[in-house]
């Protein structure tokens, strides 16, 4: 297989994911196709011999193309969504139909349209596709901590569109406090009860490094990503000692403040009374920007 054929093959393997990313960011089938085509043009003009992760490289390119399209759209004050629910009537392949029938429906696309371009891209790439903030940061021209803030603000607005804020905070706090109590008490079954079976734990580089440094004193190890309720529960057995509920960007989370100043933050994504996502953040810049507020007992 010659080089051009190999490149075409690699691109086709990634096309479905790239199209999914572009559709979720742009909310438009036609614009998503344009973004993917532009990614192919850029790939065909690039020497990828030193690209270690072609899939990640393509995702970054599509992200940048989508960001440019969002900014251009905003400057023209155009309506971002196709008329009505996006439906490419010519397409009938299962992958494409699934793309439009999944969890990102018209209601969420409307909410996403209220976000700024950088917020929207950060939220979609991280929360829907698990792209790390270290990768998102250069796309949006911010630091990783600032990119995390963008996604956090977007997440808060999306949640706020789904249910009353006060009610949401009360429910989230119940789940967070149950999680913290189970973690402190080493109650594995209670942890499983508040975790979604497919929960994903992600930790930033600072948190992973701090956990590694503390292993000598008996602290549990912490990986940058852990998937599944059982694995996440094992990761948190005994870990939350000293953590207390806080508000971060209007959402209930938890924080450690051994000397009065928060040194680590837990961000939770709660859906249907269960935790589907946990972010362990120890980046000082993020914590300064987030300004967590401890909740009264």
Return the DSSP state at 151. H
Q: Say yes or no: 156 and 18 in one domain.
A: yes
Calculate the average pLDDT of the chain. Answer: 81
Q: Say yes or no: 93 and 137 in one domain.
A: yes
Only one residue has tokens 């691109």, namely 11
More confident site: 185 or 149: 185
Q: Say yes or no: 276 and 214 in one domain.
A: yes
Q: Say yes or no: 139 and 189 in one domain.
A: no
Residues 127-151 pLDDT 10s: 888 888 889 999 998 888 888 888 8
Last residue of a domain, one of 162, 193, 217: 162
Last residue of a domain, one of 140, 162, 184: 162
200, β-bridge pairs:
227, 277
pLDDT band with cut points at 50, 70 and 90 for residue 216: low
Q: Say yes or no: 84 and 66 in one domain.
A: yes
Q: Say yes or no: 140 and 275 in one domain.
A: no
Q: Say yes or no: 42 and 174 in one domain.
A: no
Q: Say yes or no: 114 and 54 in one domain.
A: yes
Alpha carbon distance 59, 283 (integer Å): 25
CATH code of residue 209: 3.10.450.50
Q: What would the mean pLDDT of 95-116 be, rounded to a whole number?
A: 60
Residue among 197, 204, 206, 205 at smallest CA distance from 277: 197
Q: Is the pLDDT of residue 184 over 80?
A: yes
Query: Quick check: 111 and 54 in contact, CB under 8 A?
Result: no
pLDDT score, position 175:
94
> ∠22-28-95 over CA atoms, to 5°?
65
Alpha carbon distance 75, 135 (integer Å): 26
Alpha carbon distance 161, 156 (integer Å): 9
Q: Is the pLDDT of residue 95 over 50?
A: no
Number of C-alpha atoms within 13 angstroms, CB side, residue 112? 26
Alpha carbon distance 155, 160 (integer Å): 8
Residues 227-236 pLDDT 10s: 899 999 999 9
Q: What would the mean pLDDT of 249-270 be, rounded to a whole number?
A: 84
Quote the domain boundaries for residue 126.
3-162
CATH code of residue 64: 1.20.140.160
pLDDT band with cut points at 50, 70 and 90 for residue 225: confident
Q: Say yes or no: 147 and 215 in one domain.
A: no
Last residue of a domain, one of 162, 186, 218: 162
Q: Is the pLDDT of residue 45 over 80?
A: yes
Q: Say yes or no: 8 and 50 in one domain.
A: yes
Q: Is the pLDDT of residue 75 over 80?
A: no
What is the full DSSP assignment across 90-137?
T---HHHHHHHHSS--HHHHHHHTTS-HHHHHHHIIIIIT---HHHHH
Percent of all residues in the chain with a pLDDT value above 90, rounded to a whole number: 26
Structural domain tally of the chain? 2
Q: Say yes or no: 143 and 186 in one domain.
A: no
- Backbone phi and psi for residue 247, each to the nearest 5 degrees, phi listed first: -105, 125
pLDDT band with cut points at 50, 70 and 90 for residue 164: very low
Number of C-alpha atoms within 13 angstroms, CB side, residue 189? 0
In 3-state terms, what secondary structure has residue 195? Answer: strand
pLDDT band with cut points at 50, 70 and 90 for residue 169: confident
pLDDT score, position 257:
86
Residues 7-39 pLDDT 10s: 888 899 999 999 989 988 888 888 999 999 999
Q: Say yes or no: 238 and 274 in one domain.
A: yes
């Amino acid at each position: 297989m010659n080089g051009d054929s190999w490149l075409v093959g690699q691109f086709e393997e990634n096309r479905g994911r790239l199209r999914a990313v572009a559709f979720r960011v742009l909310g438009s089938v036609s614009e998503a196709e344009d973004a993917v085509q532009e990614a192919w043009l850029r790939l065909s003009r690039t020497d990828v011999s030193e690209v270690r992760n072609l899939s990640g490289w393509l995702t970054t390119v599509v992200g940048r193309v989508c960001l440019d399209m969002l900014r251009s759209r905003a400057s023209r004050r155009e309506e971002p969504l196709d008329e009505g629910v996006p439906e490419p009537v010519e397409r009938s392949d299962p992958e494409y139909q699934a793309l439009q029938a999944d969890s990102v429906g018209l209601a969420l696309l409307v909410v996403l349209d209220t976000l700024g371009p950088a917020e929207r891209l950060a939220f979609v790439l991280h929360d829907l596709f698990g792209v790390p903030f270290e990768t998102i940061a250069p796309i949006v021209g911010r630091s990783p901590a600032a990119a995390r803030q963008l996604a956090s603000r977007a997440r808060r607005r999306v949640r706020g569109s789904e249910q009353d804020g006060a009610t949401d905070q009360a429910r989230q706090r119940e789940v967070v406090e149950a999680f913290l109590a189970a973690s402190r008490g080493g109650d594995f079954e209670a942890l499983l009860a508040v975790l979604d079976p497919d929960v994903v734990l992600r930790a930033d580089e600072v948190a992973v490094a701090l956990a590694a440094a503390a292993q000598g004193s008996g602290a549990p190890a912490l990986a940058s990503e852990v998937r599944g309720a059982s694995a996440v529960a094992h990761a948190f057995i005994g870990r939350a000692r000293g953590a207390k509920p806080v508000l971060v960007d209007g959402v209930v989370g938890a924080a450690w403040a051994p000397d009065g100043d928060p040194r680590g933050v837990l961000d939770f994504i709660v859906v249907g009374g269960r935790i589907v996502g946990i972010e362990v953040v120890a980046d000082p810049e993020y914590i300064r920007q987030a300004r967590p507020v401890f909740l009264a007992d």
